[in-house]
């Protein structure tokens, strides 16, 4: 299959390498001609340290190559995805399968990444989502990974499953696009908060409490937005939350760690040296929660630290002082 990958960051590069290994004809696009030339010459990408690009992987700065592709993969950061999709739209043929590997919610519109792609490209192109606990560094080294291919059309989801799956990259199909995408966006916010907790040395108990109750928030948000609560217990939900909150590879956790240790937010974001998706998602999730009438105290606390200059050390204390409540919505008369 001919595949065109928009986005030459770590994730786009790792997926391009994976697809090459699966025997596909893959082209990786970067907007920067100098970067494309350097990658062709060195067979390396600074965004994915230690990885050697396979000789059969094509690298280009010309977006027109997407016109020959049967499948187009979008792996750009969420804050530039619309711009990338708009660039791609002029070249993609009608009916081409589109796959979003980006995670986030667009500020102002509250649109998920697949909706942005559909909005910009149109052309009766089916859009699927690839998501799950999958650090690019490990995928590029062929370490065991599991993801979800989500689409309302099962035939398309299974096509994506076949395209990406191999003996070290396992893919499950899922029809809940809303739930999969919201899980992928909100977990970045929670990972930032977990980094703050680690930076403040508040302990494993606090982090477990934070993550577990955050998952309850994600489930409420997903359900109110039209997704399924069950998705939150799967790879796109709990799986991705675990890896993003706990892994040293996680840029969101790294940023939170620096903030917890006293770094100003702007400095922490610069120090990480790559896009910290949770920073943008915190504002979007806060906005979406208010729009849907869903109480999101944990996400709102992280938002307060990032955007309202609230003291990171007070974040957990404010949450601990909230009113008493039941863990689940029991009907006590029937227990």
Q: Return the active site residues.
A: 187
CA dist 22 and 24 (Å) reads: 6
> Which spans in 104-239 are helix H?
113-121, 136-140, 154-164, 177-199, 204-225
**Neighbour tally for 266: CB within 10 Å:** 9
The DSSP annotation for 200-225 comes to: TT--HHHHHHHHHHHHHHHHHHHHHH
Alpha carbon of residue 285 to chain centroid: 13
Phi and psi at 167, nearest 5°, equal: -70, -10
CA dist 227 and 307 (Å) reads: 28
For residues 18 and 166, is the Cβ–Cβ distance under 8 A?
yes
- Provide the total of helices (H) and of strands (E) in the chain, helices listed first: 14, 8
Q: Please list, in sequence order, all residues whose beta carbon lies within 8 angstroms of the beta carbon of residue 274, skipping any fewer than 6 positions away.
A: 9, 10, 47, 251
For residues 96 and 74, is the Cβ–Cβ distance under 8 A?
no
For residues 5 and 39, is the Cβ–Cβ distance under 8 A?
no
Q: Please list, in sequence order, all residues whose beta carbon lies within 8 angstroms of the beta carbon of residue 108, skipping any fewer than 6 positions away.
A: none
Q: Please list, in sequence order, all residues whose beta carbon lies within 8 angstroms of the beta carbon of residue 89, skipping any fewer than 6 positions away.
A: 120, 121, 122, 123
């Amino acid at each position: 299959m001919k595949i065109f990958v928009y986005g030459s960051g770590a994730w786009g590069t790792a997926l391009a390498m994976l697809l090459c290994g699966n025997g596909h004809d893959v082209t990786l696009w970067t907007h920067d001609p100098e970067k494309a030339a350097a990658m062709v010459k060195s067979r390396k990408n600074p965004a994915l340290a230690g990885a050697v690009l396979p000789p059969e992987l094509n690298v280009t700065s010309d977006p027109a190559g997407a016109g020959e592709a049967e499948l187009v993969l979008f792996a750009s950061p969420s804050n530039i995805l619309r711009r990338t999709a708009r660039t791609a739209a002029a070249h993609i043929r009608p009916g081409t399968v589109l796959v979003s590997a980006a995670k986030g919610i667009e500020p102002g519109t509250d649109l998920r990444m697949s909706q942005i792609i559909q909005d910009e490209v149109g052309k009766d192109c089916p859009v699927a989502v690839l998501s799950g606990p999958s650090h690019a560094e490990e995928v590029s080294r062929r370490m065991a990974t599991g993801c979800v291919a989500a689409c309302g059309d099962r035939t398309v989801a299974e096509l994506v499953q076949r395209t990406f799956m191999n003996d070290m990259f396992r893919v499950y199909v899922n029809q809940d696009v809303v739930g999969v995408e919201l899980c992928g966006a909100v977990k970045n916010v929670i990972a930032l908060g977990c980094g703050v907790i680690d930076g403040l040395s508040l302990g494993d108990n606090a982090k477990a409490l934070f993550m577990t109750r955050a998952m309850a928030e994600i489930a409420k948000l997903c359900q109110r937005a039209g997704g399924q609560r069950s998705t939150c217990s799967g790879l796109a939900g709990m799986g991705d939350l675990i890896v993003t909150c706990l892994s040293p590879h996680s840029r969101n956790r790294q940023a939170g760690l620096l903030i917890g240790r006293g770094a100003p937010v702007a400095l922490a974001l610069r120090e990480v040296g790559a896009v910290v998706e949770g920073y943008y998602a915190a504002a979007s999730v806060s906005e979406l929660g208010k729009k849907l009438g869903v109480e999101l105290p944990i996400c709102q606390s992280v938002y307060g630290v990032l955007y309202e200059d609230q003291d990171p050390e007070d974040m957990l204390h404010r949450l601990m002082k909230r009113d008493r409540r039941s863990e689940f919505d029991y009907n006590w008369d029937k227990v």
